[in-house]
Structure formats: C-alpha cells, structure tokens
Amino acid sequence: MATVTYDNATRIYPGTERPAVDSLNLEVEDGEFLVLVGPSGCGKSTSLRMLAGLEDVNAGRILIGDRDVTDVQPKDRDIAMVFQNYALYPHMSVADNMGFALKIAGTPKAEIRQRVEEAAKILDLSEYLDRKPKALSGGQRQRVAMGRAIVRQPQVFLMDEPLSNLDAKLRVQTRTQIASLQRRLGVTTVYVTHDQTEALTMGDRIAVLKDGVLQQVGNPRDMYDRPNNVFVAGFIGSPAMNIGVFNVEGDQAVLGDARVPLSRSTLDAMTGDGKVTLGFRPEALDPVPAGEPGALPIKVNLVEELGSDAYVYGELVGPPEMAHQIGSGEDADQVIVRADPRDTPKKGDTIHVRIRPGEQHNFDTTTGARLPD
C-alpha cells in the first residue's frame, strides 16, 4: 500500500489558457478512501487521469509513496483503474477478463487462477466465471471490472464514476459493496464522482473541486457542518442548503421580518457593504405560528414525500426584490424546509418558519468565504 501526493500538480490542455487542474495540493493517506467530487468540468477526472499517467502534468509533481511518478509510464505506476463503462472484452469469459492483465504480465497460470478465484469469492462472482459479459447484469459487469483491478494487487485503486451506468437501487447497493470492500482490502483508493450523496456515504475524506481549484478537504461530517465557502455549502448536502443575502442592521442579519443575531467576531470579519450571506439547511428551519416575530413566510410550491421524511419547496413571500434574495442550489430562488411527514402542508399554503438560533452558516458576501461564528 502507499500514500498519494499531489504537489502543486497542474494540467493545462493545449489551446486553453485556464488550467483544468490548478496547483492541486492534496495528500491521500495509506489505505484511505478519498473521494474527488464536484460539478462537471471541475477537474476531478483530469486529476485522476494525471495520477494514472493518462494526462500530462504541466507543472508540479505526483508521488505514489516516496516515488515521483510524474514522468513514469502508466503501466509502471502500480495502479489499477475502474472505469465508468466497465471496458470488458466481450469475447472473453469473466475469469479471462479478470486475469487478463496478469496474463500479459507473464504471471503463471496457476497463480492467475488462484487470484481470480479469490477475487470472485470476495465479489460473489464465483458462479459466473465461465460466462461472457453479455450474459451478466450491469451490476455484475461492474463487479467484474472491480475484480480485474483487485487481482492485480496494486498499491492504489483509481475509480472514475464507476456507478454512473447503474440504476438507482443498484447504485445504492453497489456503493455500499465498494466501500466495505475497500475497507476490507485496505488499498489506498481515489474515487471520482459528481454525486455528492455518493461522496458523503463512501469516503473517509472528501475533496471538493471547482474550476480546477481545490475548495475544501475533510471528512463527510466536517464538510456538512462547516463548509469553507458558499460553493461548498451549496454543493454538499441533499437537499441543498438554503443560501440568502441579508442586510446587516446593528448586530443582526435582516431579511423582511427575519432577524438573525450575529456575533461580534462575525461582524468584525465582514468585508461586504452592509450585507452578509447566510446559509441554513432545511432541517435548521422550525415551523412557527403566523405572526411570530422573526419568521419567514414561505408559499408552498411542492411537497416531496419520502416516507420517513418530507421536504417542502416554496418561495419567500414578500416584495419581488426580496423573493430572489434567498434560494437553494445553483440559480434557484426556492426555499427548502424539512417537514413532519405526517403533517405536511398543501400546495399553495403559506407556512412560517424561523432559522434555529446558532444553526446558520455565515459567509462573506464579497469573497464567499466562511466567517467566524
């Protein structure tokens, strides 16, 4: 096993000026499951391909363990990659697909068979070893691709959105299997996904990228509870965090009738011109009676019932200029409220909610950076 280190690693594609990955500094611990996550075009797959040797590193370097592999050929890096599209040979059996890399490397047949059978047992594929890929389901094919990586016994596993082609139920089941398998094998793993739910449920740590720049690294709970900036706050969490721009009056953030106390350290660190950006998760909003001081009136547009949970999607009631000051997710002007699934409002109703004291996240309106609590 080994650590992985990105040391100011940069990738600039020919014909472009802006780096696809810009001075990435990141260390993956020995045996760690690290998830690279971000929106499309953020540089996460490029970062993985740089580590695999499939993309050039224009500046900086990449190390596996203490070895600088920046200019080392992919086949000599002792890594194994699992792709989104499985990349299985259709004319070969499952056993031959899993053992093909070992065969090319000149490994004795008996050892190949032993490693393949061991991996098949781990992945519950023993009864399928003689089948061709076309006779397997999508989930089984993905497990064969996993098995092909496992038999090589590499220092590092690289996984590039391996669950994207699976249906929703199978995706949940397979992500649990991959996470438990990685912990069982103890192999350092770098996993790329655009699905932040996958990131939160699978990773020991998460690294969030935007426009090729690393925004934050931390464990799932840190990312959810203390996002570094507005982008991470809006990206991590499902449903998304509500984020709005409030006016600052004295020591309070004000939007309509809502009043949120701000600490002296928050006020002293602000650079915005009398404004502050507040984020608050759907579960941080408490329903209150109409007319309650400091309440936000929300007109209900949709109720999403999930059995054990319910989420109300609505818009802020008030003057038009105020209605667009708060929203959830990118370019949205809706507010999301977690509701009692046994007592949900109806579409068109107006509910009143208040931000639970101390559960808002304060961000600088100018820089987007987190402010001290």
Q: What is the CATH number of the domain that holds 295?
A: 2.40.50.140
Q: Terminal CA-to-CA distance of the chain, rounded, Å?
A: 40
Task: Kindly list the distances between the CA atom of residue 64 and the CA atoms of 5, 53, 61, 74, 172, in Å, as whole numbers in the listed order.
Answer: 6, 12, 10, 12, 30
Residues 220, 280, single domain; the answer is: no
Per-residue pLDDT reduced to its tens digit, 74-84: 989 999 998 88
Q: Which of 47-56, 238-247, 286-295, 327-336 has the highest mean pLDDT?
A: 47-56
Per-residue pLDDT, 330:
61
> Is residue 368 domain-resident?
no
Please identify which residue in the block is written with the tokens 């190390």: 63
Residue at which a domain ends, from 233, 263, 284: 233
Residues 189, 314, single domain; the answer is: no
207/223 Cα distance (integer angstroms) = 9
Residues 142, 42, single domain; the answer is: yes
Per-residue pLDDT, 322:
66
Tell me: pLDDT of 87 over 90: no
How many domains does the chain contain in total?
2
What CATH number is attached to the domain comprising 170? 3.40.50.300
Please identify which residue in the block is written with the tokens 């925004």: 215
Tell me: pLDDT of 53 over 80: yes
Instruction: Tell me the pLDDT band of 362, cut-offs 50, 70 and 90.
Output: very high
Tell me: pLDDT of 57 over 70: yes
Domain residues for the domain of 305 are 242-363
> Is residue 371 domain-resident?
no
The pTM of the whole model exceeds 0.85: yes
Residues 220, 350, single domain; the answer is: no
Residue at which a domain ends, from 203, 233, 263: 233
Per-residue pLDDT, 320:
66
Residues 10, 114, single domain; the answer is: yes
Torsion of CA 304, 223, 278, 214, to 10 degrees: -120
